[in-house]
Structure 1
Amino acid sequence: MQPIKPQAVFLTAEWRRLIMANYEIDPKVLQPFVPFGTELDTWKERHYVSLVGFMFLDTRLKGIPIPFHKNFEEINLRFYVRYKDPELGWKRGTVFIKEIVPKAAITLVANTFYGEHYVTMPTRHRWEDASQELYVEYGWKQDQQWQHLGVKADPNPVPLKEGGEAEFITEHYWGYVRQKPDRTTEYQVEHPSWRIHNVHSYDIQCDASRLYGAPFAEAMAAEPLSVFMAEGSKVIVREGKRI
């Protein structure tokens, strides 16, 4: 059998200091967003939705850096699915409810080429490095009100625990986009296994009702099941294909 040739590289970047706040959610809320051909993925029979903030650094499209669009914040809400590839078996992936970025051009490219759900809002971040503790925060401004996702964390990252919750959350290497009721786009995201910074405390100010709707707000009104920060790495995002 001939090896399967990967799709061409669309984007390269570094994703750094990814804060992940993870909530349990009723699968009935997610079901209308599940792309055709995929099914909800679970860890210990729990369905997760994650509020994620991180930095894009040294971003390049087709190897070309775009002036004023190399470094920027992203804040997204995502959940987890899996797809049974007829040749490769089960693939674990993510689906995005909404992705916030500060530049309209980024929104246009992502929505045009991948059919994603990007929106443009003012964003900001704050990183404070100290020997005993890191402070990392990502903010976004909606309707003239700043909201944020911030953590105080151990400065020394540790490897993922095999079979643990953080491994489940971080190691989904495919993206799936619901284009139509009977059409899905799949794209691959490549990166090494990330190390994790243990979080000492967190602060989340998010108007989930206005951002994502009442069903998501209900889930996110509870305390998250976990909050951690992934160290991040260089990433490759490949071109999408229909499945």
Structure 2
Amino acid sequence: MSAHVLVLGGTTEARELAAALAVRPGVRVTTSLAGRVSRPGALPGDVRIGGFGGSEGMAAWLREHDVDAIVDATHPFAATISAHAARAATTTGVPAVMLRRPGWEAGPGDRWHAAATLAEAAALLPDLGRRVFLTTGRLGLAAYAHLDDHEFLVRSVEAPEPPLPRRTRIVLARGPFTTDGEATLMRDHRIDVLVTKDSGGAATAPKLTAARALAVPVVIVRRPPAPDGIAVVPDVATALSHLGLG
């Protein structure tokens, strides 16, 4: 019996899952990417690029391509596509699971400040420092554009979209990063405060270790909740087991 698994991708875990599925006999895997990164790496199995046209469009795609299971392995902050996937799964009856890496947890010596949104994170900055290391991605920087008295070091994989804060220096880089490298970057730019999303994972966690060592406060933007009615698993092995392929 063959099975067609749709992986909503864009993360390291999605890539690992696609590779694990592609070598299983009788399993066909299609990875769907949003298309926000201009040069995504090669992926095993089939790949589609672009949106589905909402939950209705995704449901139609699932039926048309005889999908047997969905794994939402998108970024923990990709709330819109996750909601669409959950609704499409309910509409079609296709089993779905969310592969979401665990979030970061504060440890001894951490000076973390939680924020529910980027706007809330921006509102905390005047009390925390003027030189900001901003690692929330290339989208949504308009939330900080009004902070004319602050200096921003913005790091993202690709060039951020305007509007940007008036005093902005951009660093284009992709993880994984090292603790020593992150500490050097923060010292060189005299960073007062780090702003990041709670993405989880090891690739970008060294900035948190460096911030702890340098006594730099961190504003952590909390994740949106997972959609109702979908199982959430923490790693590839558990996702495979949930699909009956472990």
Q: 1 or 2, which has the higher helix percentage? A: 2
Larger Rg: 2
Alignment TM-score, normalising by the size of structure 1: 0.21
Q: TM-score, normalised by structure 2?
A: 0.21
* Bigger strand fraction: 1
